[in-house]
């Protein structure tokens, strides 16, 4: 027996947003070098350095036996300043990214820049003994590109080694090992990852970030022109995620990636200001450089689409791509703080693009969160300017997604349209994937407002991630798509032309019930803090000290809907702030008040449900906890209302969202198929109850549905770095004027219902 509900599909419909589902790619989590970039040699240019990460240097990634010297004299190019002088006998071994995986029959192209300091020299190279090997002869005293192909004779995992014989002295740079494609040419993109992206059928790809687009500091801002042309001439810079950007995937390759996946490109350029998280805050491009910067943005449009008679169109053709890439959108800014400097720089860039390229739709920015000061200010600015589309971001708990399915119904379709450029329900668990699916149905139902949406982040190398959750994990040999991946695929692969009104009967939203019992606790990861004058619900408590190792100290029981806590906190050691937890034990819902959260730069109230937490109010910028300076804190919980005072200032005052969660959600689109109207039905059952959806169509007659059903895993299965605990299975259901579809607990289905005959 399962609970039955009805999905009545109305005949009324609106045009679906044709570009709705796309991808967002950023060089984060080794997504590019060590990931999508097919290059297998790590730091082949010897350009890693201390600015990338503490302790990194020109030989990071290499093991050297013998006499080598890192030199800068007479480099291959000014942007590739370091090379190695190797005096034989010597062996250099590159570890790649966790080794180099290979299978018998794989072919690779080894290449490098080399020059001899004497007689011609034969240098041997191999990827593990008995796996694959070749030799090159270095014969000239000037830099020369040398190449050799290696064929793998066995399966295995190896490392690239280069042996220089005794008596020889050679200079080496730009060492590369790339797998060869079917055409015998070195691959640009790692084939299995590319296929995984193609299988999502994205309408667009947004790149190169994210934070990476505007950079930490003006010198770190992404300038597209510095990322095209021969690889060894590209400017390599530190990656703000704590590693190195080789730019081997630069702007041309991003456009080629769009082409290879059938996606329209959405480049994001910095809005003339670097990221506000730069120490000291966002810095605008100096006035004297703004005209050149705006010209660079206009040149980007020309590079993408200009004819061969234009300077940048000709450049594109010279780089091997005479055909235009079809640029229809351009994003300006990413999650920027809406300051006067931002407004000034942004306005000039947007005006210039809209005047010179009315065919390109500009996308503005509304801060890092789907609410709050930058969201409000970003929207007000977009309204004032008539910006056609704005980019909203939302990393939230699953509950938020279930509560916000109808969020965009309240948006005015006559204002800016919306691109949800980054979103994810926190965690890689099935419950997060289903929350995203429910929310995506809500996005699809509002095509007049929501035009584009992309999950973020996209790619993450296992063991090298700076951000979770991610959509697709991978290691040297395998691709590990998450449960969210299969949700994205359900939406990306089966699209409709019209979105239908749907009535759902027989199922209710789940009410939010605030817990009436719990406890108050103090913690201070990374700091030692003394709490004095502690008063909980009117009772004075003994003084408390919390340690840097993060052990919590329990203050006592509370009613989380009627509680009062105040204390004075003074840090004696460490660089972080402290935290107050209020509510029941995990995994039930609880609140955390962070005083000095996010690198001790803000105050925030976050909430956790089912072990998954996210900011609910804030972060609100703050000076931070200072060693030896007491901070007075007062917290009041009154029903859903939360109030937090810091040193007498009311910094948080809001009501917890008590709207019911929509956990059983249906969406329906239609399209013209070979035998008449086809209906694409999406159904989410994010509950522990088996249900049957009785889908009633507006058209009569026998039908057959091909369904992809993602089910079989519990809500808390799924973790970062792992493949999805469930994969979609094919189900066929027949019916008359509709279908009955069984939805197991915690499941998502996308079905295509076709007329029979």
Euclidean distance between CA atoms 262 and 201, whole angstroms = 7
Burial class (CB in 10 A: 0-12, 13-18, 19+), 730: exposed
Q: Cβ 184 to ligand AHR, closest distance in Å? A: 37
Q: Which of residues 466-485 bind ligand AHR (CB under 6 A)?
A: 467
707 in Cβ contact with 753 (< 8 Å): no
| Structure token pair of residue 500 | 């239908």
Rounded Cα distance, 596 and 599, in Å: 7
Integer Cα distance of 518 and 681 in angstroms: 42
Provide the token pair at 575.
């660089």
- 368 forms part of the interface with ligand AHR (CB under 6 A): yes
Give the x-and-dash track for 285-324 against ligand AHR (CB under 6 A).
----------------------------------------
CA 735 to CA 695: how far, in whole Å?
Answer: 10
* Of 209, 250, 331, 378, the one binding ligand AHR by CB under 6 A: 209
End-to-end CA, the chain: 32
Q: Which residue of 422, 494, 610, 614 would you call a contact of ligand AHR, by CB under 6 A? A: 422
- CB count, 10 Å around CB of 69? 11
Total residues contacting ligand AHR (rule CB under 6 A)? 12
Which spans in 478-523 are helix H?
A: 483-493
Neighbours of 562 (CB within 10 A): 12
The distance of closest approach from Cβ of residue 70 to ligand AHR in the complex, given in angstroms and rounded to an integer, is 32
Residue of the chain from 38, 112, 169, 211 that contacts ligand AHR (CB under 6 A): 211
Distance of alpha carbon 700 from alpha carbon 727, whole angstroms: 33
Q: How far is the CB of 490 from ligand AHR (least distance, A)?
A: 22
**Cα–Cα distance measured from residue 666 to residue 6, given in angstroms and rounded to the nearest whole number:** 10
Among 19, 26, 253, 610, binds ligand AHR (CB under 6 A): 26
Residues in 440-459 at the binding interface with ligand AHR, rule: CB under 6 A: 456-457
**Least separation in angstroms between CB 270 and ligand AHR:** 12
* Shorter beta-carbon distance to ligand AHR: residue 90 or 615: 615
Rg of the Cα atoms in the chain: 28
Query: Which helix (DSSP H) or strand (DSSP E) does residue 499 occupy?
Result: strand 498-505
* CB-closest chain residue to ligand AHR: 210
Query: Quick one: 19 or 392, whose CB is closer to ligand AHR?
Result: 392
Q: Per CB under 6 A, does 619 bind ligand AHR?
A: no
CB of 422 or CB of 614, closer to ligand AHR? 422
Closer to ligand AHR by CB, 349 or 460: give it: 460
| Beta strand pairing call for 204-207 and 264-269 | parallel
Contact range with ligand AHR by CB under 6 A, out of 203-211, 541-549, 653-661, 680-688: 203-211
100 and 158 Cβ atoms separated by less than 8 Å: yes
Among 37-45, 204-212, 294-302, 310-318, the segment contacting ligand AHR (CB under 6 A): 204-212
Q: Are 215 and 222 in contact (CB under 8 A)?
A: yes
Q: Provide the β-strand partners of residue 637.
A: 563, 642
CB of 267 to ligand AHR, least distance (A): 15
Does residue 678 touch ligand AHR according to CB under 6 A?
no
Binding segment for ligand AHR (CB under 6 A), chosen from 181-189, 209-217, 571-579, 678-686, is 209-217
Contact region for ligand AHR (CB under 6 A) — 141-149, 205-213, 609-617, 645-653? 205-213
Give CB contacts under 8 A, 24+ apart, made by 321-327. 321/252, 321/255, 321/256, 325/255, 325/258, 325/259, 325/265, 326/264, 326/265, 327/264, 327/265, 327/267, 327/301, 327/360
Question: Given the rule CB under 6 A, which of 93-101, 206-214, 399-407, 605-613 is the region that contacts ligand AHR?
Answer: 206-214
Chain-centroid distance of CA 229 in Å reads 26
17 vs 615 by CB, closer to ligand AHR: 615
Q: How far apart are CA 713 and CA 433, in angstroms?
A: 11
Span interacting with ligand AHR, options 85-93, 208-216, 696-704, 715-723, rule CB under 6 A:
208-216
> Does 210 participate in binding ligand AHR (rule CB under 6 A)?
yes
Give the footprint of ligand AHR on residues 320-339 (CB under 6 A). 334-335
Q: Interface with ligand AHR by CB under 6 A: which residues?
A: 26, 28, 209-211, 334-335, 368, 422, 456-457, 467
């Amino acid at each position: 027996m399962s609970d039955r509900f009805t999905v009545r599909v109305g005949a009324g419909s609106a045009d679906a947003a044709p570009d709705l589902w796309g991808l967002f790619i950023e060089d984060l989590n080794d997504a590019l070098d060590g990931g999508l970039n097919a290059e297998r040699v790590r730091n082949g240019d010897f350009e890693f350095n201390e600015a990338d990460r503490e302790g990194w240097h020109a030989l990071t990634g290499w093991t050297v036996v013998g006499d080598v010297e890192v030199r800068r004299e007479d480099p291959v190019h000014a942007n590739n300043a370091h090379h190695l002088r190797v005096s034989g006998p010597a062996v250099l071994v590159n570890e790649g990214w966790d080794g180099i995986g290979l299978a018998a029959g794989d072919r690779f192209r080894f290449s490098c820049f080399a020059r001899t300091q004497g007689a011609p020299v034969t240098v041997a190279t191999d990827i593990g003994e008995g796996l694959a090997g070749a030799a090159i002869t270095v014969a000239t005293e000037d830099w020369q590109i040398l190449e050799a192909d290696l064929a793998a004779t066995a399966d295995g995992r190896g490392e690239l080694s280069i042996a220089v014989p005794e008596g020889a002295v050679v200079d080496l740079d730009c060492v590369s090992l790339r797998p060869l494609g079917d055409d015998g040419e070195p691959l640009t993109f790692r084939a299995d990852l590319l296929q995984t992206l193609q299988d999502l059928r994205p309408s667009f790809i947004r790149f190169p970030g994210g934070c990476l687009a505007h950079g930490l500091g003006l010198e770190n801002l992404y300038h597209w022109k510095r990322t095209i042309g021969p690889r060894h001439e590209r400017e390599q810079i530190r990656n703000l995620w704590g590693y190195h950007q080789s730019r081997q995937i630069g702007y041309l390759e991003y456009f080629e990636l769009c082409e290879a996946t059938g996606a329209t490109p959405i480049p994001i350029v910095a809005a003339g200001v670097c990221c506000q998280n730069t120490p000291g805050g966002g810095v605008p491009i100096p006035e004297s450089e703004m005209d050149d910067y705006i010209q660079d943005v206009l040149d980007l449009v020309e590079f993408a689409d200009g004819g061969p008679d234009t300077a940048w169109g000709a450049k594109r053709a010279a780089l091997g791509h005479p055909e235009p890439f079809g640029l229809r959108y351009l994003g300006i800014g990413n999650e920027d703080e809406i300051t006067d400097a931002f407004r000034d720089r942004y306005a000039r860039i947007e005006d210039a693009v809209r005047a010179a390229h009315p065919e390109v739709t500009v996308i503005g920015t509304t801060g890092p969160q789907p609410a709050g000061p930058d969201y409000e200010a970003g929207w007000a600015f977009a309204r004032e300017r008539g910006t056609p589309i704005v980019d909203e971001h939302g990393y939230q708990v699953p509950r938020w997604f279930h509560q916000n399915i109808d969020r965009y119904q309240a948006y005015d379709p006559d204002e800016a349209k919306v691109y949800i450029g980054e979103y994810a329900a926190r965690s890689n668990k099935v419950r997060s994937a289903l929350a995203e699916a429910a929310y995506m149905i809500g996005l699809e139902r509002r095509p007049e407002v929501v035009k584009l949406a992309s999950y973020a982040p996209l790619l993450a190398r296992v063991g090298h991630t700076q951000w979770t959750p991610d959509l697709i994990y991978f290691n040297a040999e395998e691709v590990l798509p998450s449960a969210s991946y299969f949700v994205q695929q359900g939406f990306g692969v089966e699209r409709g032309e019209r979105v239908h009104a749907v009535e759902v009967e027989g199922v209710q939203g789940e009410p939010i019930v605030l817990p009436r019992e719990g406890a108050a606790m103090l913690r201070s990861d990374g700091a030692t803090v003394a709490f004095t004058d502690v008063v909980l619900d009117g009772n004075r408590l003994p003084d408390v000290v919390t340690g840097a190792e993060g052990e919590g100290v329990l203050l006592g029981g509370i009613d989380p809907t009627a509680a009062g806590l105040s204390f004075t906190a003074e840090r004696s050691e460490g660089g972080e702030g402290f935290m107050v937890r209020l509510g029941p034990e995990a995994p039930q819902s609880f609140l955390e008040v962070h005083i000095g959260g996010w690198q001790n730069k803000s105050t925030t109230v976050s909430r956790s449900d089912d072990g998954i937490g996210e900011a609910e109010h804030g972060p609100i910028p703050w000076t931070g906890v200072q060693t030896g300076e007491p901070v007075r804190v007062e917290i009041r919980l009154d029903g859903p209302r939360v109030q937090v005072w810091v040193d007498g200032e009311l910094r948080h005052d809001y009501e917890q969202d008590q709207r019911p969660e929509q956990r059983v959600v249906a969406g329906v689109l239609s399209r013209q198929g070979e035998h008449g109207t086809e209906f694409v039905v999406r159904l989410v059952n994010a509950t522990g109850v088996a249900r049957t959806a009785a889908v009633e169509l507006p058209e009569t007659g026998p039908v057959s549905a091909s369904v992809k059903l993602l089910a079989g895993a519990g809500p808390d299965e799924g973790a970062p770095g792992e493949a999805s605990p469930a994969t979609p299975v094919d189900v066929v259901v027949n019916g008359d004027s509709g279908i009955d579809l069984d939805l197991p607990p915690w499941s998502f289905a996308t079905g295509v219902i076709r007329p029979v005959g």
